[in-house]
């Protein structure tokens, strides 16, 4: 298991090209909002990212890992899956290089289409 501490005020960016879901914790109807790729989030309290595998594809060769963390988006406070987020700004040229390397890795393993669904 990989753990990473997050401090209140840390920033994260949505890295999932399909976006990620924010569940608003203050709404009575458990409102969910789809946050687009590149959306800036702010960590609301000190917490630890416990990246345990929650999905295994192809006999365990590709793991989707992460935990649920509390963040702020605009005026909303809610929960997101941190496996869709990174400290690296997803709008930079350097981040695009990393993303393309990952997609190339998935293609080599024959997993790109299933991972992007």
Q: Report pLDDT digits (tens) over 11-60.
A: 999 988 888 889 887 767 667 889 998 999 999 998 876 656 555 555 55
Kindly list the domain boundaries of the chain, sorted by start residue: 2-90
Domain 2-90 has CATH 2.30.30: yes
Is the separation of the CB atoms in 90 and 98 below 8 Å? Answer: no
Mean pLDDT of 100-110: 67
d(CA 43, CA 92): 21
């Amino acid at each position: 298991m990989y753990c990473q501490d997050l401090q209140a005020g840390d920033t994260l960016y949505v890295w999932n090209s399909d976006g990620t879901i924010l569940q608003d914790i203050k709404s009575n109807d458990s409102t969910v909002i789809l946050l687009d790729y590149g959306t800036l989030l702010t960590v609301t309290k000190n917490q630890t990212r416990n990246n345990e595998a929650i999905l295994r594809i192809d006999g365990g060769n590709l793991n989707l890992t992460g935990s649920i963390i509390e963040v702020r988006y605009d005026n909303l406070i809610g929960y997101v899956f941190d496996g869709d987020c990174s400290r690296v700004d997803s709008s930079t040229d350097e981040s695009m290089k990393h993303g393309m390397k990952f997609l190339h890795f998935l293609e080599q393993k024959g997993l790109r289409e299933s991972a992007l669904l």
